[in-house]
Amino acid sequence: MATKDKIEFEIPVERQKAAQAAGNFELDDLPGRLAEPDAAIRLGKQPKQDKPLKAVRSIKTITKLHPNQVIANYGRSESRWAAAYQKRRAGHAEFHELLSYARQIIGLNDEGQLLICLMGHAGQGPCIPLWVPRDEVTLTVQPNDIILRFDDMTFDW
């Protein structure tokens, strides 16, 4: 049996061409703890145009998940929705509520099970996360998206 330290799962990335890029935004534009990931990268149209923002050199560094890590994909729209929600909550939104605005949320639990998070509230009520086990998943990205990785996560929010 492999130890937790040896468990690793690389998430494949599918780059989509956006009809029109939604525009750049920075980590500082993300509200609360979203602005403080353990690793982050902004994606360009081509891999060579990717811009490391924090603690990474390439998208592969973020998409190699180890136990208790979560990656989330934010475009400009998702960033604005999360910021608007944070403002409506007078700056007191829970981390998982802000995370819920991500386009995709993928995690690897401490048993090495790949999980995707389905979560929704549209700002209309309690945010209820549902972690669904998957055998495989693809991270679907567009130019100017920011991919965030959070370490030391639990899956019982």
pLDDT confidence bin for 156, thresholds 50/70/90: confident
Asked if residue 55 has pLDDT above 60, the reply is: yes
Nearest residue to 99 (alpha-carbon basis) of 148, 54, 50, 28: 148
48 is a domain residue: yes
Q: How many domains does the chain have?
A: 1
pLDDT confidence bin for 1, thresholds 50/70/90: very low
Residues in the chain: 157
Cβ contact 141:106 at 8 Å: no
1 is a domain residue: no
- Print the domain residue range for 113: 7-150
117 is a domain residue: yes
pLDDT confidence bin for 71, thresholds 50/70/90: very high
Write the pLDDT tens digit of every residue in 4-48.
568 999 999 999 987 665 667 899 999 999 999 999 999 998 899
Asked if residue 154 has pLDDT above 90, the reply is: no
What share of the chain in percent tops pLDDT 70? Answer: 90
pLDDT, position 121: 59
Environment class of residue 113 by beta-carbon count within 10 Å: exposed (0-12), middle (13-18) or buried (19+)? middle
Q: What is the pTM of this model?
A: 0.89
155 is a domain residue: no
156 is a domain residue: no
Strand ranges (DSSP E) for the chain?
A: 9-10, 13-15, 39-42, 51-54, 64-65, 69-74, 104-108, 114-120, 128-133, 139-141, 146-150
What share of the chain in percent tops pLDDT 90? Answer: 68
| Mean pLDDT for the chain overall | 88
In terms of DSSP bridges, do strands 13-15 and 139-141 run parallel, antiparallel, or are they unpaired?
parallel
